[in-house]
Structures are given as structure tokens and as C-alpha cells.
Amino acid sequence: MTSPTPGSAGSRTVLITGGAGGIGQGIARAFAAAGDRVILADRDAAAVAAAAEALGAEPLALDITDAASAAEALHGLAERGGVDALVNNAGILSVHGTVTELEPDAYRSILEVNVIGTFNMLQAFARHRIVAGGGGAVVNISSIGGRQPTPGMGAYESSKAAVDSVTRWAAIELAAHGIRVNAVAPGPVLTPMLEMGMPEGSPAREAWSSRIPLGDLAQVSDIAPAVVFLASGSAGHITGVSLAVDGGQLLT
Ligand SMILES: NC(=O)c1ccc[n+]([C@@H]2O[C@H](COP(=O)([O-])OP(=O)(O)OC[C@H]3O[C@@H](n4cnc5c(N)ncnc54)[C@H](O)[C@@H]3O)[C@@H](O)[C@H]2O)c1
């Protein structure tokens, strides 16, 4: 049995969280280019309004850690035609620290967004799709860090290992409703913010590049097509995977 995303490219409504950020905007651009209606959600209301205007998308101010707000957002969208695909992209990347030094509250803050926030959106979307008669696709944005450790990044990495696990959990339960749940797991991505901190030729950039068999960090445009594919009917028989887009870093 295959489970196509309701509607074909060009007629879907896609909700993307973390839409004010570098990867979220790139994913939004790819869906918009396919003619889809894009709703960009972010907790930074001003930034998401600006990003949405630039992309011809609809902005939605939303903090994904608030389950009631997530449910309310999906109710509101259900009344305005519904949502066919959810891209759970919002995440925090900035909490770092070693096992011996990281404060528990810092760890808690990253789990709250990356794991509980992802779960809140997934739950609200799944309830919406089931009421709508089933079908639909979720793509969670994970990280290969969930499978390959880097010293000092374990809080973030363990949150992404949980995202991979939540992906499989939801995939097996929601398959009966024709809802597919997958993840895309990038290696380091050259968002405008990352590029500022790691300009070409810098020691930090060289250190990351040297771990990547295909030679350099990913561009945002390397990530978006994998997301669009997993959300589409072409991936109708794929659920529960976390697709690495990492230039081969996991091979090393
Ligand atoms: N940049 C990378 O190298 C990289 C690599 C692997 C995975 N990722 C993942 O890709 C996703 C996007 O990363 P990015 O590089 O674009 O980061 P970014 O910081 O540019 O964007 C993240 C966005 O999420 C939003 N956000 C944070 N907490 C939120 C909340 N509680 N509710 C709603 N919105 C919230 C932020 O306001 C921001 O606009 C993240 O999940 C990240 O973990 C990034």
C-alpha cells in the first residue's frame, strides 16, 4: 500500500515551522516554487512576517513548545482549507557543553524545543489529518549528529536522536491512517548565519569540511529537495526513515 500526500505538488498546503530561519526559508522557497501554498510558522513574529512576505507565504506566529498554541494553530488552519504536509524544522542549535560542564537547565531548554516542540506539532497535525479522513506527510528536520558524536554537542545531538526515534514511533502508529512520517538529517549546512561564523578558509570551516567525503558543508539548496521529495507522492511507500544529507560524513 502506498500513501500519497493529499493533493499533488502545486495544490498542497504545507506548514513549515522555524520558517524565519535559514533552512526553513530554503525549504519554503522549494515548496513555493512547486506552486504549493506555504504557511511559515516561527516564534519570532517579526522575522517570520518579513520572511513570509519575501517568499509569498503566509506567516504564523507560533511557539511550538506550547501544546495548546500548536493545537489552536492546526484548528485555525483546518478551518481555512487544512494542511497536507508538516515540516517540523524549528530547532535550537546553540546549546553546547561537555558532559562534565553542561547545566541541566540548558539541556532541558533544547529538549523542550527540539523534542517536545516537534512532538506537539506532530500530534496536532496527526489529529487534524485523522479528522480530515487520513493521509498526509510529516518531515522532521533531524541531524546526523543524532548518529555521530562531536565533543561538546551532545545535548543537541541527543535531542536529534530523539527526533529520529519520534519519527519511527509516529510512522508506525500513523501508517494505518495513511500518514507518512519521515526525517531529513543534514550534516552542517551553510545557512547565512553559519557562514558568517565560519567563512570560507577559516579553521572552523576547514575542520568541518575535512570530515565530509564530498568535500564541503551542505548548502540550504542541498537539503530542501530531500524534504520536498519525502513530502510528495513520489515517496508514497516510504515512512519511518531518517534520510542523511551529509556529503557522506556518516561514512567516516
Ligand atoms: N544549520 C545546520 O548546520 C543544521 C544542521 C543539521 C540540522 N539542522 C536543523 O535544521 C533546522 C533549522 O536550522 P537553521 O540552521 O535554519 O536554524 P535557524 O536558527 O536559522 O532557524 C531556526 C528557527 O527556529 C525558530 N524557533 C526556535 N525555537 C522555536 C519555537 N519554540 N517555536 C517556533 N520557532 C522556533 C527560530 O526562531 C528560528 O527562526 C533545525 O531543526 C536544526 O537543528 C541545522
Distance of CA 111 from the midpoint of ligand 1 (Å) = 13
Domains within the chain, CATH numbers bracketed: 13-251 (3.40.50.720)
HSE-up of 9 (CA within 13 Å, CB side)?
15
Q: Dump pLDDT digits (tens) for 91-112.
A: 999 889 999 999 999 999 999 9
CA distance 18 to 12: 19
Q: Supply φ then ψ for residue 50, to 5 degrees.
A: -65, -45
Which residue among the candidates 31, 119, 125, 156 is catalytic per the annotation?
156
Q: Binning pLDDT at 50, 70 and 90, where does residue 2 land? A: low
Residue 226 pairs with which residues in a beta bridge? none
DSSP 218: B
pTM value is: 0.97
Which residues sit with their C-beta closer than 6 Å to ligand 1? 17-18, 20-24, 42-44, 62-65, 89-93, 113, 117, 141, 143, 186, 188-189, 191, 193-194
Q: What is the pLDDT of residue 192?
A: 87
Active-site residue flag, 156 = yes
Segment 66-86, tens digit of pLDDT: 999 999 999 999 999 999 999
Distance CA 6, CA 199 (A): 41
Question: Does residue 194 surpass a pLDDT of 70?
Answer: yes
* Three-class secondary structure of residue 185 per DSSP: strand
